[in-house]
Structure 1
Amino acid sequence: MMGTSTDILSRRKLLGAFAAVAMIPAAPHFAKAASYNKGAGNIRKVNLRNQRTGESLNTIYWIEGKYVEPALEEINYFMRDWRQNAVRNMDRRNVDLIAATHNLLQTDEPFLVLSGYRTARTNNMLRGRSRGVAKSSYHIKGMAADLRLGSRSVSQISKAGLACNAGGVGKYYRSNFVHLDCGPVRTWGG
C-alpha cells in the first residue's frame, strides 16, 4: 500500500541522494541494457497521476542497476484495478517502457493513467462498452497502461513510445490517449 506523501518524499530524497553518489558506478551496467531501458535514464522513475482515484505517485524505482522493491510495490498498488480494488505485479518491462517514454518527452508533467492492470471482469465490462478493448488484453496480465499528457499530443507520446522499440503502441486520437504494453513490438491506430 502507498505511504503518506511525507513518507514518499522522505524516501525520494534519500534515494535521490543515494542515486547521485551511485550514478557513475551504474553507468557500465546500464550501457548493456536494452535500448528502451537506456531511454528510461540512469535513475529510473515514474511520475503518475490517476484522475479516478485522485492518487499521485512520483518515485524512483531503479537505481544502481537494481529495482527498488518498495517502489515497485507502490507502483503495483497505484496501477491496480480500482474498480475491483485488485492489485497485480506490473511487468517491470512495462514500467521501464513508461519511464523511457516519459523521459523522451522531456516533461515533468505526470502521466495521467487511464488504465493499468485490469481484472478479467473489468476488461469484459469495458469490452461491452467499446470495440477497442481486446479480449486477451495485456492489461489483464499487468503488461499495459493507457496514458495521457496535457502538454503532449497523442502523436508525440506515441512517437516517443515507438522510439523505445520495446512493445505495443496504440494511438487513440478520439479518446486522447496512448496505449503502451511490453508485448511484441507493433503499432496501431490513426
Structure 2
Amino acid sequence: MVPAPLVGRRASAQRLIALALCSAASALAFFTAVVATQDAAADGDTRTLSFFHTHRRDNATITFRRNGRYDEQALTQLNWFLRDWRTDQPAKMDPRLFDVLWEVYQESGSKQPINIISAYRSPQTNAMLRRRSSGVSEHSQHMLGKAMDIRLPDVEIGRLRAIAMKLQYGGVGYYPSSEFVHVDTGNVRAWPRMSQDQLARLFPDGKTVHLPSNGRPLAGYEQAKAEILPRNAALAAQAASGGSLGSIMTALFNRKEPRPAPAEPPARTVALAAPTIASDVPDTALALAPIPPRRPQDLLIASIEPPQPPRPERPIVTAALATPARSSIAPIIGPDRTASVKALFDPRTAFLDLGFAPELNSDLSTTGFTGPAVKPLPVKPPAPMRQASASVGTGL
C-alpha cells in the first residue's frame, strides 16, 4: 500500500510536469509563428486575392501584401470594395481575414475568384437581418469587419468548410442550403458542430480546439490549445503592427523603445543691428519651431532703437456751446380737425400715388397686396352747374 501523502505528491508532480510541458509547447509555437512571420518578410512574401461581389456584380484583384508587409493603399481599396452593399458604408477590415482567405484559397486549389456573399455589415443592416432571421447574431463579427461569407464555384462547399476548420484561425459557419461558408477571425469555433466521428476523421491526431456536438474534446485538445492560441495571438499582433518582427514583440509584450533625452536648446543671442527680415531666415529654422507672423517694419525698428523721451501732453481745450434760443412757435398739442376735414374732401387727393398695383379684382389677395393699410375714401365728383346754364338761357 502506498501512503496517501505520497500519492498526492506524485499527482502534484505530474500536474507540474504537464504544466511545464504545456508552457514549453506554447513558447515553441509562439516562436515558430514569429520565425514564420520573419521568413515571410525576408522572402518577400506577396499575396494577391481576386473577388467577385455577388450583389453588386463587380470584381477586383488586389495585392494586399508586398515584401511580407501589408500594403496600406491596398487595404484601403479592400475596405471600400467590401463595404455594406445595402448602405454603401465602408469600414476598416481586419487584415488577418485576408491572410486566412489567402491560405484557404491556396489550399483549395481554386481557379475562380472568391465569391462574396456578405462582408462588412453596418449595425442598421444587421438589425434588419436580425428581425428577419433568428440565425443572425446581435454582435456579429461582420459589424467589426472581421468576417466574410464566401463561396468558391469550383470547390465543393463541404470541402471548403473542412479547409477553413483545419486552419483553426477563427470561426467557421456552414450553410449548405445557401451554398456559402462563413469565415471570421474571432475565437476558434465552428457551427453547426461536427459529430465525434466526423471531427476525428478531420483531425486524426486529435490536436484541435474544435468541440464535437457531444461537447467532449478530442485527445489532443490541451496540446492544440497550447499551440494554436499563441500562434493566433502572434498573427493578431502581426496584423496590428503591419508585419514587422519588432512591432510584433511590441504589440505582444507592450515594449516601447526608450525615447532619447531632449537636447538642451542653444543659448539665444540678440543682435542690436539692422532689423531682421523674415525672408532671411532659412526654411529649416522655420520647420523646427513655429514663429509668429512678421511684425510691421516700424515695430521692428521701434524695438531696436533707443526709447525717445516722452512728449509733453497737450492741454485739452473745451469749447462752450451756445445755448439755443427759444423758438416762438407754439407746439401743436393736438390734431387740427378743420384741416383734416378739408384734406379729406380736397379734389387733389384723387391724384396722389397711393401705391396700388394695377391688377384685376380676382388677383387681389393678402399675398399680392402692396398698398397702404388704410383704404382711401372715394372722391365726390363736382355738382353740375345748372343755375349758370339757366341764367344764360334767360338772357338770350
Structures share fold, TM-score greater than 0.5: yes
**SS across alignment from 1:179:** strand
Q: Is the 8 A contact 1:114 1:146 kept in 2?
A: yes
| Ranges in structure 1 where 5+ consecutive residues have no aligned partner | 1-28
1:42-62 Cα distance to aligned partner (Å, 9 max, x none): 322211100211211112110
Partner residue of 1:148? Answer: 151
RMSD across aligned positions (CA)? 2.1
- Identify which range, 139-148 or 91-100, moves more after superposition: 91-100
Partner residue of 2:366? Answer: none
**Cα distance in 2 between the residues matched to 1:33 and 1:162:** 21
Amino acid at match of 1:143: K
Deviation at 1:177, TM superposition (A): 0.5
Deviation at 1:158, TM superposition (A): 1.1
Greater relative contact order structure (CA < 8 Å, 6+ sep): 1
TM-score, with length taken from structure 1? 0.77
Deviation at 1:163, TM superposition (A): 2.2
Q: Structure 1 vs Structure 2: percent identity of aligned residues?
A: 32
1:93-118 Cα distance to aligned partner (Å, 9 max, x none): 11211111111111120111010000
**SS across alignment from 2:37:** coil
| Ranges in structure 2 where 5+ consecutive residues have no aligned partner | 1-32, 194-396
Q: 1:92 aligns with which of 87, 92, 95?
A: 95
Q: 1:114 aligns with which of 111, 114, 117?
A: 117
User: Segments of 4+ in structure 1 off by > 6 A?
Assistant: none
Q: Is the 8 A contact 2:110 2:152 kept in 1?
A: no
1:104-161 Cα distance to aligned partner (Å, 9 max, x none): 1111201110100000100111112222211100000000000011111221111111
**SS across alignment from 2:144:** coil
Are 2:74 and 1:64 aligned? no
1:31-110 correspondence to structure 2 within 5 Å? 31-33=35-37, 42-110=45-113
Partner residue of 2:139? Answer: 136
**SS across alignment from 1:107:** coil
Are 2:186 and 1:183 aligned? yes
Amino acid at match of 2:132: R
Are 2:160 and 1:157 aligned? yes
Deviation at 1:31, TM superposition (A): 4.9
Between Structure 1 and Structure 2, which shows a larger proportion of strand residues?
1
Q: Is the 8 A contact 1:48 1:112 kept in 2?
A: yes
- Label 1:157 to 1:31 Cα distance change in 2 as closer, same or farther (>3 A): farther
Number of residues of Structure 1 aligned to a counterpart in Structure 2? 157
